[in-house]
Structure 1
Amino acid sequence: MTCQTTAHPLRPFNQLAHPREVIRQFTPNWFAVVMGTGVLALALPQAMPALAGVGEALWWLAIGLFVLFCVLYGARWVLFFDEARRIFAHSTVSMFFGTIPMALATLLNGALAFGLARFGDGLLPWVEALWWLDVALALLCGVAIPFLMFTRQEHSIDQMTAVWLLPVVAAEVAAASGGLLAVHLDDAARQFQVLITSYVLWAVSLPVAFSILTILILRMALHKLPPAHMAASSWLALGPIGTGALGMLLLGGDAPAIFAANGLAGFGEIARGLGLIAGIVLWGCGFWWLLTAVLITLRHLHQGMPFNLGWWGFTFPLGVYALATLKLAVWLKLGFFQTLGGVLVLALIGMWSVVAWRTVCGAWRGELFVSPCIADCGRKKG
């Protein structure tokens, strides 16, 4: 594969009027790159232990991208404040605020998987503090963005896509991260706080996500598939289901020891059982969405599907569903889940490779730096 350009192929951003347009046109959509890269980093060691080093390298790459994107997006608010604030009224781009806390949560999970072995337990206080920050950001997105939908933005059922899920699912991702973090803490009271907070976050997110999925099914039945440029959004439905299953399995695995340490031993075993049952049920629901998303994607590929940053929607949902599958394999000791989990991770590797390469090419040319908020405003003025 090669990066093809029409003019000045060796000069970066040749499709932009000026390099500063990278900042002016920067949107939160880019944080989905961190999510997709981070989830692959987490999945590789679990499916293929020999590739743990590659997973750690991808985690470091995700950290670097997250820092870079924070700098670019922060610079946009400083240098182009009036244009940056238009995002709150935009019915699509505003949904991607949810990718920021989800990207951070993915990095924190990587810190537990890779960072503790490299830097020791001294890293834990930083991870715990950043997790609470992530909780606050996730709750802010999950409440503020829907409130903007109700009060300032223009929406219609025929224009709806699964991107509506992004703000509300952030709390669920933070819940799954809490399940990973709790067992590493050395204080029983802090473990209990993180565990209960994670259950609350899970409950804040999943019922709302299923409400949106219900509307999404109705929308597709009445108005058929979303347009080609939003084709990858069909995979986003798999995100809250896979994350919900993974979260309940992680929290259920932690519950017996943490509840017992806080004088609630009986409830811990109940929570463990509920975690397994919920994980299996949600996994089954996710399997339907997985098959449906594959069929929708094949339909769009046949008709033509232009590349854009939305293609990163293929990666994170597939990744969390693969992680939930591998976690079920550990719980149930069934070869089916282990084999399918490995197949899903292989698919994730292939998808990530394609999307990452095309993103690098598009970013080099500058054609991926497009803010719909600015473009829509320009069309209205014209």
Structure 2
Amino acid sequence: MPAPQRSQILRGKARDAIAGLYPGYFAFVMATGIISNALFLDQQRLVSEFLFALNVGAYCLLWILTGLRILIARRALWADMTSPKLVFAFFTTVAATDVLGVGVNLRGWSDVATAMWTFALILWLGLIYFSFGVLTFLNTAHGANVVHGGWLIAIVGAESLVILGAAIAPNLGAYQQSVLVLVHMLWGVGLALYGIFVTLFAYRIFFFDLEPDDVSPLIWVVMGAAAISTNAGSVLILTDTGIAFLESMRPFIDGVTLIMWAWATWWIPLLMLFGFWKHGVRRTPIAYTPMLWSLVFPLGMYALASLRLSLAADFAPLRLISGAMVWVALGAWALTAAGFAAAIRRSLRSVERA
């Protein structure tokens, strides 16, 4: 094939890839970051640093691709943003920024972490009202059929703001107490939204006909949202606020945090059963999809939530669960990364054959 023609094909493929960029691809940063953070706190620094470096590069690349999508594929971007099934995927930008920000803060770069938290807060505030506007004015689906686990990424975004906000608060001087009050409120907002969405989700799953296409990797976010709420609650328990009103809430936070961990744990066997039904009973082939990163993230978050709750509750057995689960999450990450690499190879081969 002549070089100019090959170059034209490559440009066309690149343009199509940017136009069709899945808005939830920031879940890769979420998944990689949460495993890196869990390994860092578990003193597994070598693997943690490798994943952190990879994550910084991936985060920057995804924002570059998003910027290109704004420039050359605004119509496709707007179609995703106004789709009730896809708009909540944009909350992965919030959670990815916060999860990476926690990793940045763990390494002592508190000013950068503060800037990332501020950026994530602005993103979340814009997206939360925009997404509910889409649901209110542009949702043409009937009944609860549009509901799926991806909606709960909005809660993941809110709770990620709690975790990073509590981490950077001691460095904010006069703004420390204001941020601590804000993150307590965000934790409550996240719980309220979780209660709404998980009710609709359970209604859709348990009382409507279920097809294999309804069981996507996004379904694991129902567990991940509960796990990150546990993590956020544990962080609040471990934070010395110095504010009497917030300290008086501690027993409430203790109880709710334990309940959320139990709820996240309850979902794991059921979600595995859903996967067995789809791939074992209904014989749906397992293939790489970017939504798989939304399965890896909850596994890593459950590991970290168990670790943080073990510290908050001073209950050592939870550390054993965390220690095992982080390697399960890393294994899932490696398998998904292998699938991603294979998908890229197939795409490149198709270009060569063209």
TM range (shorter): 0.7 to 0.9
Distance change (3 Å), C-alpha of 1:344 and 1:267: same
Alignment of 1:93-132 (within 5 A): 93-114=86-107, 116=108, 123-132=109-118
Q: Conserved in 2, the CA contact under 8 Å of 1:142 and 1:168?
A: no
Aligned-partner Cα distance in 2 for 1:83–1:195: 39
Distance change (3 Å), C-alpha of 1:186 and 1:169: closer
Q: Which residue of 2 aligns with 1:3?
A: none
Q: Which residue of 2 aligns with 1:137?
A: 123
| Aligned-pair identity (%) | 23
Q: Conserved in 1, the CA contact under 8 Å of 2:34 and 2:99?
A: yes
Among 134, 158, 168, which residue is 1:171 paired with?
158
Among 19, 24, 29, which residue is 1:24 paired with?
19
Deviations 1:27-82 (A, max 9, x none): 322111111111110111233x1x21211221121111111011111111111223
The higher relative CO (CA closer than 8 Å, separation ≥ 6) is in: 1
Deviation of 1:152 (Å): 1.3
Q: Which runs of 5+ in 1 are unaligned?
A: 1-10, 117-122, 368-382
Q: Conserved in 2, the CA contact under 8 Å of 1:228 and 1:306?
A: no
Q: Which residue of 1 aligns with 2:62?
A: 69
Aligned-partner Cα distance in 1 for 2:11–2:266: 42
CA root-mean-square deviation: 2.4
Alignment of 1:18-97 (within 5 A): 18-47=13-42, 49=43, 51-97=44-90
Among 260, 266, 271, which residue is 1:293 paired with?
271
Q: Conserved in 1, the CA contact under 8 Å of 2:221 and 2:294?
A: yes
Q: Which residue of 1 aligns with 2:218?
A: 233
Deviation of 1:238 (Å): 1.1
Q: Conserved in 2, the CA contact under 8 Å of 1:230 and 1:310?
A: no
> Could you tell me which amino acid in structure 1 is paired with residue 166 of structure 2?
G
Moved more, 221-230 or 298-307: 221-230
Does 2:346 match 1:338?
A: no
Aligned-partner Cα distance in 2 for 1:168–1:134: 13
Aligned pairs, number:
338
Alignment of 1:122-271 (within 5 A): 123-156=109-142, 157-183=144-170, 185=171, 187=173, 189-225=174-210, 227-228=212-213, 230-254=215-239, 256=240, 258-259=241-242, 264=243, 266-271=244-249
Instruction: Tell me the TM-score normalised to structure 1 length.
Output: 0.82
Paired residue secondary structure (1:20): helix
Aligned-partner Cα distance in 2 for 1:17–1:332: 55
Q: Conserved in 2, the CA contact under 8 Å of 1:234 and 1:296?
A: no
Q: Which residue of 2 aligns with 1:376?
A: none
Among 335, 341, 352, which residue is 1:360 paired with?
341
Among 254, 264, 279, which residue is 2:257 paired with?
279
Q: Conserved in 2, the CA contact under 8 Å of 1:229 and 1:307?
A: no
